[in-house]
Structure 1
Amino acid sequence: MWHLNKMIFGSFLALGTLVATSSYSWMGMWVGLEINLLSFIPLISTSKSMYPAEAALKYFIAQVLASTILLLSIVALSMKILNLIESSFQSELIFNTSLLLKMGAAPLHFWFPEVMEGLSWFNSMILLTWQKIAPMILLSYSGKTMMLLVAVIISCMFVSGVMGQNHLSLRKIMAYSSINHIGWMIAASLFFEVIWTIYFVIYTIITLNIVIMFKKLNIFFMKQLTLTMSHEPNLKMFFILNFLSLGGLPPFLGFFPKWLTIQTMINENFHFLAIVMIITTLATLYFYMRITFSTLVLSMNSILILTNPPTYKFFIMATNLVTLASLILVTLVFNLL
């Protein structure tokens, strides 16, 4: 019975995103975001444990706050249309702030790592990927408040680099990694939506590969990761290469969208912002490298007991070939075009 409920709420989750992104009015977009929110809450609180319920409450409070600010900005925008106020800059500022709060961009990220800590890997995957689509697209529809977005981009870079250090929880590490990528996606959407689309698709593929490994092996902390990888050398290699790809190191696929974003920013004379983003991303890359080196070097002799040995070999190898070989294929395709 519960699987039927999960299918229904999952369908409404997708429907809410589609309504929000395809609506002709701001009120229709708000309705789509609310459908999305009210469908995700039951998916979060599936377990009898207190942690998913706490995460659902935190997520609900943060999203309701963002929805309230969004409604306020919609009212202000409608007053501008009716010539009741002179400037729409303040309303656009409030509108963009509400969307940034909904997607968990820094410095409005206070709820994001805490919610991630209480979720299963399946729900974490939805929060890391699908729940970013509607706010990102609506942000590209709205007026570009450039100073706010530049400040948010730099804040995402610094917060993810500093706060992501010294965490033992893999869910929090993935959350701060997502905040870093949110900054890059916002920078990509400032110029061309196509680059943002490419970035989001590639980020989703890489994140899906990593989360599938964590879910199949049922690991949530660094100690479990090191212990499990000590017994799985093939899986260890795939995990390390995917994590380096998530960090954006060439020659992996994760480097390609950052390459496009940097090239576009240079062409649009945003040299200073591009340099700041590259330098601050190195701090994020540091804890990526720390995790991969500790996974590679450390070895534990503890007995690993798996009640249900995971059947992941073929599926994980097949999906990982996409991320490990795609940069070469993409480069060849673009050269031919």
Structure 2
Amino acid sequence: MSPTILTIIISSLATGTIITMTSHHWLMAWIGLEMNTLAIIPIISTMHNPRSTEAATKYFLTQAAASAMILFSSMINAWQTGTWNITDLSYSPAHILLTMALAMKLGLAPMHFWLPEVLQGSTLTTALIITTWQKLAPMALIYMTLNNLSTTALITLGLLSSIVGGWGGLNQTQTRKIMAFSSIAHLGWMFTITSIMPNIMILNLMIYMIMTTAMFCSLILSKSKTIQDTTEAWTLSPMLTVVMMTLLLSLGGLPPLTGFMPKWLILEELVTQNLTSTAIIMAMSALLSLFFYLRLTYTTTLTLSPNTAQTKFKWRFKPNHMTLLMGASSTMTIFLLPMTPLILL
């Protein structure tokens, strides 16, 4: 792809998200979402093979259906209330339809089936964009319409997503599919707390994006597309294997790493609101996710794959990737837990 076309596509991707996040009118929000979707389709299909074409088609059809549902919900709300303002979503069928549409856009269970398939057909860099940047616009719409959305629907979707995200990742051998189910589980945690404490939801989204960016950067650097590939990461850089191990444990939510912070705050808030059974189910679903993170940790740091190459070390071949983003995001993924008291103030 030529630099000019890539620049136009990336700027359209960013502009679409910003338009959605800053708009007050439903049509402008819809236009932003459409720009976002149309900009990422060429990025997904750059590989020019059947798998990437299939991924781009699946992504387009799902996002187009979700955008149509958003437009339909805003139209029936405008028909009933006479306003197109995003914050005035008072008609009940409209906000239920909107919740389902945004869940489909984000890849929440039970509308999650497209996400693992699309990530598997994309490159690791494209998968990083889909799991981080593409979540911003729908989450912004949820934050803006929060006062009118059904708490029961949000908590149900959150619970279902955290369970499905944990359960679905157990049987996977592809790192992109594991990260897809990880995304579904993390979004489930965000949805569960959304209507109770929106500030914790935003904190969780920020930490999730930092952790996922760090993890994908290390996978891109070590070219690890399957679990077996992670066993060879130490030949590139022994330090990279240590960093990957701590990143995976942080994603799993183990203390004293950053990933523990949002889970801790969410469980504490759920118990405070007398939603103890919800908190127990969420904690149990976190154990499911933790299992496949620990499996990846084990293969990365403690196992050695059969090696037919003449040389044991790849470190002689210096990787030409920029490691600044990886360094910054990895540091935040590992060391941010002591900041929790400052966040709570």
State which drifts further: 114-123 or 318-327.
Answer: 318-327
Distance 1:334 1:157 in 2: 24
Alpha-carbon deviation of 1:321?
A: 2.8
Contact persistence 2:163–2:285 (CA under 8 A): yes
CA deviation profile, 1:133-188 (whole Å, cap 9, x unmatched) = 11112122222212221221111122112111121100000000000000111123
Matches within 5 A, 1:181-260: 181-229=186-234, 232-260=237-265
Gaps of 5+ in 1: none
TM-score for both structures, normalised by structure 1: 0.92
Question: Which one of the candidate residues 164, 167, 180 is aligned to 2:169?
Answer: 164
What's 1:92 paired with? 95
Quick one: distance in 2 between partners of 1:66 and 1:314?
36
Q: Deviations over 1:252-285 (max 9, x none)?
A: 0011111222222223332221121111211111
Gaps of 5+ in 2: 84-89
Question: After the TM superposition, which segments of 4 or more aligned residues of structure 1 sit over 6 Å from their partners?
Answer: none
- The aligned residue for residue 103 of structure 1 is 106
The alignment's TM-score, normalised by the length of structure 2, stands at 0.89
Q: Is the 8 A contact 1:248 1:255 kept in 2?
A: yes
1:295 Cα deviation from its structure 2 partner = 2.3
Kindly state the Cα deviation for residue 69 of structure 1 after the two structures are TM-superposed: 1.4
Cα distance between partner residues in 1 of 2:155 and 2:341: 33
CA distance in 2, matches of 1:58, 1:331: 39
Identity %: 33
TM-fit CA distance, 1:309: 3.1
Amino acid at match of 2:112: H
Mapping for residues 99-138 of structure 1, pairs under 5 Å: 99-138=102-141
Residue identity in the other structure for 2:91: S
Name the aligned partner's letter for residue 119 of structure 2: M
Matches for 1:1-337 after TM superposition, within 5 Å: 2-82=2-82, 88-142=91-145, 143-229=148-234, 232-302=237-307, 303=309, 309-311=318-320, 315=324, 316-317=326-327, 319-328=329-338, 330-331=339-340, 333=342
Q: Is the 8 A contact 1:230 1:300 kept in 2?
A: no
Give 3-state SS (helix, strand or coil) of 1:69's partner.
Answer: helix
Aligned partners of 2:196, 2:7: CA distance in 1, in Å?
37
Size of the alignment, in residue pairs? 332
Q: 1:231-264: CA deviations, max 9, x gaps? A: 6322111101000001111100011111222222
Following the alignment from structure 1 to structure 2, what is the Cα–Cα distance between the partners of residues 179 and 276? Answer: 16
- In structure 2, relative to structure 1, the CA distance for the partners of 1:217 and 1:231 (3 Å cut) is closer
Q: CA RMSD in A?
A: 2.2
Please give the alpha-carbon distance, in whole angstroms, between the structure 1 residues aligned to 2:219 and 2:323: 16
Alpha carbons 1:116, 1:175 under 8 Å: kept: yes
Alignment check: 8 A CA contact 2:270 2:276 kept? yes
> In structure 2, how many angstroms separate the alpha carbons of the residues matched to 1:55 and 1:173?
17
- Secondary structure at the aligned position of 1:165 is classed as helix
Alpha-carbon offset, residue 114 of structure 1: 0.4
Q: Matched residues in 2 for 1:34 and 1:20: separation? A: 10
**Which letter does structure 2 place at the counterpart of 1:74?**
S
Residues 63-94 of structure 1, C-alpha deviations (whole Å, 9 max, x = no match): 111112112211210121149xxx82112111
The whole-number CA distance in structure 2 between the counterparts of 1:106 and 1:195 is 21
1:271-311 per-position Cα deviation (integer Å, ceiling 9, x unaligned): 22112111121111111112212322211241268595315
